[in-house]
Amino acid sequence: MQGSALGLSLEDIRRRYADRALSRRTAERLRDAVESLFPQIERANPGEVPKRWRLPGGTLGALVGVSADELADLNTSISVLRRENMDAQALSLERILSKMQALMKRAAKARVEPDLAD
C-alpha cells in the first residue's frame, strides 16, 4: 500500500493473490489487518469508487533494518563488479547503498559503521 501513490483497492489486493483465489471478504480481512498494524492508513480517493487505501510515505521505513553484514556484502559486490569491469552495475549498487544508508537512523548507522570499516 505504500508502494502505490494511487493506493490499492480490494480488487487490487485480490489480484496480487490470484494464485490463491482470494475472496473479497479475505481481501477485506487483509486490509483490516494492515489497518490494525498501521493506523495511519489513509483513503487514497475519498468519495470515489472503488475505494483505495494507501500508507503514507515513510511508514514502513522503521520496519526495514539493514545489518552491517548486509551492507558489507553490498560493498563486496560493488568491489567484484568493479574488478570485472562492470562499472555501470557497480555504480547502480553504489546508489542503492547510498540510499539505504540515508534511510538509516543515526543510531543504527553509528552501530554499523565500525563493522564496515573492517
At position 69, the amino acid (one-letter code) is D
Q: How confident is the model at residue 118 (pLDDT cuts 50, 70, 90)?
A: low
Give me the pLDDT at residue 90, please: 94
State percent of the chain over pLDDT 90. 45
Give me the pLDDT at residue 84, please: 96
Query: Angle 75-79-84 (CA atoms, 0-180°, nearest 5)?
Result: 145
Per-residue model confidence as pLDDT tens digits over 54-112? 988 777 766 667 778 888 899 999 999 999 999 999 999 999 988 887 777 677 777 77
